[in-house]
């Protein structure tokens, strides 16, 4: 089945370009478009897409607030959100990630990375633009209110290996290839890491790895 995507951007030309790129992929289908945050919430609530692709700066509700309402802490059935913007700002990136976004891309990232981010979000993974990943993790660690706590159940050797590869930005497929294990086994280890560390997503796994000097 196709991955169903809603595209939100207040600039008609940019939105049209994003729709064309997404629809050109044989496994993706744009099921809705919007030009502002309130319309985005209505569309997502009604259509329940697999992925929401949204700009950060828009009239009314911005992309961070839309993400928080649709994917933030406490949302019972969060949607996978990929934020895309022209603004390479620590505050924007940090705000989007903390609001629950599974991806953050700059608009000059190119079609290939855009497609990869949508696929990763649909698969429950996270992709942050390579140009901002190291700085993002450093910022997250610097702003962490308390040092990372150790899990009650120690990580296994294999979980430690998966932890490092996740922190370095590896996808499930890349980790499976690196460790010579199945994709299902990787997903099992990632789920175990989230449970043991008490985190919600792969970015928070990476943050914990940096805080505890695994990376």
Tokens representing 135? 């700085």
Tell me which of 183 and 73 has the higher pLDDT.
183
In angstroms, what CA-CA distances link 56 with 5, 42, 115, 137, 151?
17, 17, 18, 20, 34
| Structure confidence by residue, pLDDT tens digits, 1-15 | 799 999 999 999 999
Domain match, 135 and 151 both: no
CA angle 14/24/175 to nearest 5° reads 100
Last residue in a domain, options 139, 166, 193: 139
Binning pLDDT at 50, 70 and 90, where does residue 16 land? very high
Provide the domain limits for residue 163: 147-211
Q: What is the mean pLDDT of the chain?
A: 86
Which of 93, 56, 68 has its CA nearest to residue 203? 93
Of all residues in the chain, what percent carry a pLDDT higher than 90?
Answer: 48
Binning pLDDT at 50, 70 and 90, where does residue 181 land? very high
Domain match, 40 and 120 both: yes
Q: What's the CATH number where 178 sits?
A: 1.10.10.10
CA distance 11 to 71: 23
Domain match, 131 and 157 both: no
pLDDT of residue 134: 64
Phi, psi of 155 (to 5 degrees): -70, 145
The total of structural domains in the chain comes to: 2
pLDDT of residue 90: 63
Tokens representing 75? 């949302």
CA distance 25 to 115: 8
Domain match, 119 and 158 both: no
Domain match, 17 and 74 both: yes
The stretch 185-213 carries a mean pLDDT of: 86
Domain match, 207 and 126 both: no
- DSSP character for 124? T
Which helix or strand (DSSP H or E) is residue 152 part of? Answer: none
Domain match, 76 and 169 both: no
In this prediction the pTM is 0.75
Domain match, 70 and 35 both: yes
| Structure confidence by residue, pLDDT tens digits, 46-80 | 999 999 999 988 888 899 999 999 998 888 889 99
Last residue in a domain, options 108, 139, 170: 139
pLDDT of residue 81: 95
pLDDT of residue 140: 65
Domain match, 90 and 162 both: no
Domain match, 168 and 109 both: no
pLDDT of residue 147: 56
For residue 37, give every residue at least 6 positions away whose Cβ sits within 8 Å of its Cβ, in sequence order, or none.
8, 58, 59, 60, 61, 62, 63, 65, 66
Lowest mean pLDDT among 50-59, 92-101, 160-169: 92-101
CA distance 98 to 94: 6
Phi, psi of 170 (to 5 degrees): -70, 140
Domain match, 38 and 118 both: yes
Last residue in a domain, options 77, 108, 139: 139
Domain match, 77 and 173 both: no
Q: What's the CATH number where 128 sits?
A: 3.40.50.2300
């Amino acid at each position: 089945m196709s991955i169903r995507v809603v595209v939100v951007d207040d600039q008609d030309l940019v939105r049209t370009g994003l729709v064309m790129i997404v629809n050109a992929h044989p496994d993706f289908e744009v099921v809705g478009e919007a030009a502002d945050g309130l319309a985005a919430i209505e569309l997502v609530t009604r259509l329940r897409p697999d992925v929401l692709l949204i700009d950060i700066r828009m009239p009314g509700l911005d992309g961070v607030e839309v993400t928080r309402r649709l994917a933030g802490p406490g949302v019972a059935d969060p949607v996978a959100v990929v934020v895309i913007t022209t603004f390479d700002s620590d505050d924007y990136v940090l705000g989007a990630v903390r609001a629950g976004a599974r991806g953050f891309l700059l608009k000059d990232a190119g079609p290939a990375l855009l497609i990869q981010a949508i696929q990763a979000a649909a698969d429950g993974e996270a992709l942050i633009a390579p140009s901002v990943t190291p700085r993002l993790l450093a910022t997250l660690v610097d702003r962490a209110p308390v040092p990372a706590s150790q899990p009650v159940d120690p990580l296994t050797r294999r979980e430690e290996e998966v932890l490092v590869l996740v922190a370095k930005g590896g996808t499930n497929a890349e980790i499976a290839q690196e460790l010579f294990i199945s994709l299902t086994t990787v997903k099992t280890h990632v789920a175990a890491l989230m449970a043991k560390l008490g985190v919600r997503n792969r970015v928070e796994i990476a943050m914990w790895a940096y805080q505890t000097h695994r990376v």
